[in-house]
């Protein structure tokens, strides 16, 4: 069974750094793109970008280029989403999802990130 | 502001049928596959439809979808209270070089 399990909720202050994780299991993690999706409070889904674990190739949505960093550790089948300096506007739920062809077929449970002074 | 336009809300009575539209352009829906996702409040999105009109295993045939030109439509028949959720269309945009989701449609089963 394909599963994506994300790290838990985080509460941070503006300016702090953060890395959240997404661990895949039940499939060959290295050979499927992983996507990241943001959902701000009460809002819709926003595509952030994707990463291919085998080569660490990344493709960022223009809206998120330079704002976040995607990375992976193939040895532990885990993808990461990282911020170097959080802002209050980064408060949101972040989902990882497996990309197959042109759709996201399995999703993580989401990780709530709260940035507050 | 998404490049894919969905109605903010739709509603219908139990047992009835509802359709949700997703309007795009030639740089996205016009030349790319469309997928649909269901998000029950407080939970993660779930894939309902992929490649315009295909259902993953486990998705009942009450859910169907189609695409024509630069628009796509999700249909749900035999509405149940459990279908109350937000529904999102998704595709890829060649001019943006990125994926896109519609703004989402809240379905209320009256």
Nearest to A107 among B33, B45, B50 (CB): B45
Cβ atoms of residues A100 and A72 within 8 Å:
no
C-beta atoms of A62 and B98 within 8 A: yes
C-beta atoms of B56 and A59 within 8 A: no
Q: Is A1 on the interface with B (CB under 8 A)?
A: no
Distance CA B88, CA A39 (A): 12
For chain B, 110 residues long, the average pLDDT of each consecutive 10-residue run is 92 97 94 97 97 97 97 98 97 87 97
- pLDDT at residue A105 in the model: 97
C-beta atoms of A102 and B44 within 8 A: no
Cβ atoms of residues B102 and B50 within 8 Å:
no
Instruction: Write out pLDDT tens, residues A27-52.
Output: 999 999 999 999 999 999 999 999 99
Q: Is A47 on the interface with B (CB under 8 A)?
A: yes
Length of chain B: 110
Instruction: Write out pLDDT tens, residues A81-116.
Output: 999 999 999 999 999 999 998 999 999 999 999 999
Nearest to A104 among B33, B47, B51 (CB): B47
State which residue of chain B sits closest to A46, comparing Cα positions: B101
Chain Cα centroid distance, residue B104: 8
């Amino acid at each position: 069974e394909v599963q994506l399990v994300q790290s838990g909720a985080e509460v941070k202050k503006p300016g702090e750094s953060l890395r959240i994780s997404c661990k895949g299991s039940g499939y060959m993690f290295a050979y499927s793109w992983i996507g990241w999706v943001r959902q701000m409070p009460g809002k819709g889904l926003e595509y952030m970008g994707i990463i291919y674990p085998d080569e660490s190739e990344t493709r960022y949505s223009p809206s998120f280029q330079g704002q976040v960093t995607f990375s992976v550790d193939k040895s532990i089948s885990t993808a990461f989403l990282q911020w170097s300096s959080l802002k209050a506007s980064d408060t949101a739920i972040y989902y990882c999802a497996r990309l197959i062809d042109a759709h996201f077929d399995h999703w993580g449970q989401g990780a709530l990130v709260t940035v507050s002074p | 502001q998404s490049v894919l336009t969905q109605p903010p809300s739709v509603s219908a009575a139990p047992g009835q049928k509802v359709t949700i539209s997703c309007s795009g352009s030639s740089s996205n829906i016009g030349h790319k596959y469309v997928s649909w996702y269901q998000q029950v409040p407080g939970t993660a999105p779930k894939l309902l439809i992929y490649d315009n009109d295909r259902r993953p295993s486990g998705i009942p045939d009450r859910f169907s979808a189609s695409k024509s030109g630069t628009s796509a439509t999700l249909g749900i028949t035999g509405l149940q209270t459990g279908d109350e959720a937000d529904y999102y269309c998704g595709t890829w945009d060649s001019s943006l070089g990125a994926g896109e989701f519609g703004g989402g449609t809240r379905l209320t089963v009256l």
